[in-house]
Each structure stands twice: as structure tokens, then as C-alpha cells.
Structure 1
Amino acid sequence: MKIASWNVNSLNVRMPHLKQWLGTAQPDIVALQETKLEDAKFPDTDIAALGYRCVFSGQKTYNGVALLAREMPVDIVTDVPGLADPQRRILIASVGDLRIANLYVVNGQEVGSEKYKYKLDWLARVTDHLGNEAAKHKNLVVLGDFNIAPEDRDVHDPVAWHEQILCSTPEREALKRVESIGLVDSYRHFDTEGGKYSWWDYRQAGFQRNRGLRIDLVLASDALRPRLAAAHIDLEPRRWERPSDHAPAILELNA
């Protein structure tokens, strides 16, 4: 089984890319972030024609998350208790024997800002809920655009990014608390080297110079460790014309 996370940075713009990628990569489950579409405008009919059922939680212009799967996701959660957030950033559902939590984590703007404080509070509240999900569902996958590079080896220039947004110590500690509910970073499970990224700035030829960050993660519960088969980042869609600034992060599970 192939599970992917991809921040498409506008599904309207990237729909041709999604169609092409689904046809070649053939994932079984795909979590999308930054769809930037109201629910009434989500292209679920077009996606169904490609062999995927989908659920989504969107808004106009910003944010938006969706889950595509070969079978219909059920038991949907789009808001967590104690978090009054009108932004559509959370989508949790069951697909077969898996519980999938798709997150588009708050960016935070700048260390010390109000948005940064909100990011840390948002993560704390979401982590509490994920702990409850983990208690109910042993086969839990938490994936998405975390807007946090876990370690310096996930950053092209750790000195320049030191204690900056996406790389600050409080953000990394918040991510560790997410993992502490019993989750493993599937990519790092297979690849311990640095220099592999999932996001590159459009400016200054960031992708061409590999000046990126690994902020798109697929975390799997301890119960799934025996089923972990492979994990990688698919760079090909980032090479296409008018690409998203993110590349898909992929986990493969044995049956």
C-alpha cells in the first residue's frame, strides 16, 4: 500500500499535475494540503473518474485539506475539541484498517509573533487529540505539511535557518511531542542522511540549487513498524511546469 502527502499549493492550478501524478505513481491514499477551494468547488467528480473516492474540508483562497483513497474514507473529523479554528487544516478519517490524520500545520510567520504563538498552541491542542486517536486506533498515520524541519539535517543551510521560523527549538520540540504519542518518522526510518528535502522556495532557483527543507512528513504508529516497506520523496512533480513548491512524501506499507 502506497500512502502519500502532497501540498499542492492550489488544486485549481495543480489539478493537471495531480491527474498525471496519480496515473504514474498509483498511490492508494493521498493527503492533500493547501487545496484553496471551497467544498462546493472541489473536483470530486473528476477525481472519482481517476478511481479515487475523496473527502475534503476547504475554504476560499487559503488552506484546505483533502483525502483521496481507493475506498471511501469514513468516520470523518474536521475539527478537534478545544480548538476554535475557522481555518480548514485538519482532516482525519479511516481507510480500511488505517486511521489517517491529514494536517496542514500553521506556518507561524515569524518566531515570537502572535501567529507563532498560535502555531505552538494549535500543535499542542492537535497533539492532545491525536493522542486520543492513537488510543483508539493502533494503525495510525499522521501526515501532511508540518511546516517544521525536524532536525538540522533536514535543512539546506542550518546556520542561516538557526532558530528561524520552521526550524526553531520550540517548533521542533512541539513536533517531538507529536511523535511521542507513539509515531515514527517513516522517511527517517529508512534514510538517515541529510540533504533530502520536500519544499523549495520559488525564489532564487531554490529547487535547482537544492536549497530546501524537509517539512512534509509521514508519521506512522509503532504498531505499523513491521509493515514499513519504503519511504521517499518524489521529486518529479517539482520539475514540471508551474509546479507546487512542495513534492509528494510517500510511505509504502506491506499488507
Structure 2
Amino acid sequence: MSALKLATYNINGIRTRLPVLLQWLAREQPDIVCLQELKAVDADFPVAELRKAGYGALWHGQRSWNGVAILARDGMPLESRRGLPGDPEDTQSRYLEAAVHGVLVGCLYLPNGNPQPGPKFDYKLAWFDRLIAHAATLCNAGIPAVLAGDFNVVPTDADIYNPKSWRKDALLQPESRARYTKLLSQGWLDSLRHLHPDEPMFTFWDYFRQHWQRDAGLRIDHLLLNPELAPRLQSAGVDRWVRGLEGTSDHAPTWITFTGYAVPAGDD
């Protein structure tokens, strides 16, 4: 059996960051990739460039903000859901779900929620509640599943360089953290924290005030595994070198490897 590598990466503008994305794909060769914050309409998605790099793709774009995508190396994701259930009037492109290499993958970009209090924070909490409701069906589906993406939640004070200056931010609010805890209580495993219980494992460094240079980071990109997939977790990490590139996103790719699935060439 081969090991699979699955990564999540908030690209923060796929057209602008495409050279960085292609460089990372060529070096790290993840088998499954969840992208967030494409900031591009569907027609502007770089499908040809990704195909040349060896990746099939599904995407759900939106002009100027949001947007999610799932990539499969030497294969094509099989779409199972586009958008969360529970609010037919919600048109924001924040959730995409597909079967990839034997795993059901939910790629998500949870609302930021700032400024709070206010309508943006209310939307964040309502969206989170819808995610929790849908996640319960995936957690208990009896097939290996992962929720991967930018959750815009710092789970604990250990997941941020200095919580004091962020206390009013939506990412640290008790309501946000309580919903993340409620999600985990369904049976999801926070893979990065599980394998690195005593390390910060930051995934995001703001562009301002020398956050990257000072390693003043936050952990907001998460990979949650359901009970069928969790026992096969092998390793987890953050490709920090990508954050140091010129013209890069303020996030770094976050990844896991897990065993138990063969990856034949051309697998669908």
C-alpha cells in the first residue's frame, strides 16, 4: 500500500500566486490538495497549467474573493457536493466536496467574521453551525473522510504567538472556539495537533508588522479526520518554506500523510 499526502493551502489569489503554487506542487507532489480563497471566477481558473503539472481539478470560484478547489495528482476528483446545505440563499463559494483517491474530501473556507460583533460575525457562526450539521453525516458515513481548509479559528491560546493583541478578533472569540470544539466532539481528529501536541505549528503569518520575520504566527488551517481515516494517519506538518517565497500567500501549505490506500496512475 502507498502513502497519500493531502494538503490544504489558502492561496490568497490563484492567478497572482500561480508560480508559487506550481513551484510547491513540483517540489512536494501532494496527492490531494484543497485550495481556498481563489479570488477568481470559474473561467479564470488555471486548469490548463494545473493539468500540465499533473493535476486534475474541481473548482468553485467567485469574483474578487472566496473560492475553493480540490486537486488530484494523476487523477480527477469526483464531485459530491458544491456548497453547504442549510441555506439556499447563501451564494458565497466556500465549500466543495469530492471523492479523491479513495477518500471523501471536504474543502472549506470558513468565514473570517471580522469585524465583530456584527453581521459578518453572525454569518460566520451561522455558517459554522451549518458545517457542524453536515460534518456529522461525514463523520458517521463509514468511509474515510477529511475536512480540510482555512477554518479561520485559532483553537486555543497555544495556537497563536500572542493572544493578547488578538482578543477582539473573530478568530479567537469564545463562540468561534466553542463551535470548533463542538465539531471535534463528533469524533473528528485534529491531525496536526494530535501529532504535534507541544509545538505551535503556525500556518498563517500576517503581511503586516514583520509577522513572518518574527515568526508571529497563528494556526488556523486544519485537517480533521473522521474515525475511519484517523487510525491511518502517519505524519503531519507545515511547508513553511513556501511562506518565505517572494509574492507568496500569507498562509503556508499544511499537510498530512496517511497509509492504507494504493495510488495507481490515472486513478479517478
* TM more than 0.5: yes
SS class of match (2:25) = helix
Aligned to 1:177: 182
Deviations 1:83-121 (A, max 9, x none): 231110000111132100000000001232111111001
Instruction: Name the aligned partner's letter for residue 250 of structure 2.
Output: D
Q: Which runs of 5+ in 1 are unaligned?
A: none
Distance verdict in 2 for CA 1:118–1:124, change over 3 Å: same
1:190 counterpart (183, 191, 195):
195
Q: Aligned pair 1:124/2:129, yes or no?
A: yes
SS class of match (1:188) = helix
Q: Aligned pair 1:30/2:3, yes or no?
A: no
Compute the TM-score of the two structures, normalised by the length of structure 2: 0.92
SS class of match (2:182) = helix
Deviating 4+ runs (over 6 angstroms): none
Q: Aligned pair 1:133/2:138, yes or no?
A: yes
Aligned to 1:79: 83
Report which stretch shifted further, 1-10 or 127-136. Answer: 127-136
Q: Is the 8 A contact 1:200 1:245 kept in 2?
A: yes
What RMSD in Å do the two structures reach over aligned CA positions?
1.2
Q: Is the 8 A contact 1:111 1:168 kept in 2?
A: no
Identity of aligned residues (%): 38
Q: How does 1:135-154 map to 2 (within 5 A)?
A: 135-154=140-159
Deviation at 1:137, TM superposition (A): 4.6
Aligned to 2:59: 56
Report which stretch shifted further, 174-183 or 215-224. Answer: 174-183
Q: Is the 8 A contact 1:3 1:28 kept in 2?
A: yes
SS class of match (1:205) = coil
In the alignment, the residues of structure 2 paired with residue 225 and residue 245 of structure 1 have an alpha-carbon distance, to the nearest angstrom, of: 28
Deviation at 1:163, TM superposition (A): 5.0
Aligned to 2:6: 3
Aligned to 1:168: 173
Instruction: Name the aligned partner's letter for residue 35 of structure 2.
Output: L
Q: Which runs of 5+ in 2 are unaligned?
A: 261-268
In the alignment, the residues of structure 1 paired with residue 95 and residue 69 of structure 2 have an alpha-carbon distance, to the nearest angstrom, of: 9
In the alignment, the residues of structure 1 paired with residue 79 and residue 64 of structure 2 have an alpha-carbon distance, to the nearest angstrom, of: 27
Q: Is the 8 A contact 2:58 2:79 kept in 1?
A: no
Instruction: Name the aligned partner's letter for residue 69 of structure 2.
Output: A
Aligned to 2:108: 103
In the alignment, the residues of structure 1 paired with residue 76 and residue 229 of structure 2 have an alpha-carbon distance, to the nearest angstrom, of: 21
1:113 counterpart (112, 118, 129):
118
In the alignment, the residues of structure 1 paired with residue 224 and residue 237 of structure 2 have an alpha-carbon distance, to the nearest angstrom, of: 13
Q: Aligned pair 1:12/2:19, yes or no?
A: no
SS class of match (2:228) = helix
Deviation at 1:162, TM superposition (A): 2.9
Greater share of helix = 1
Report which stretch shifted further, 125-134 or 12-21. Answer: 125-134
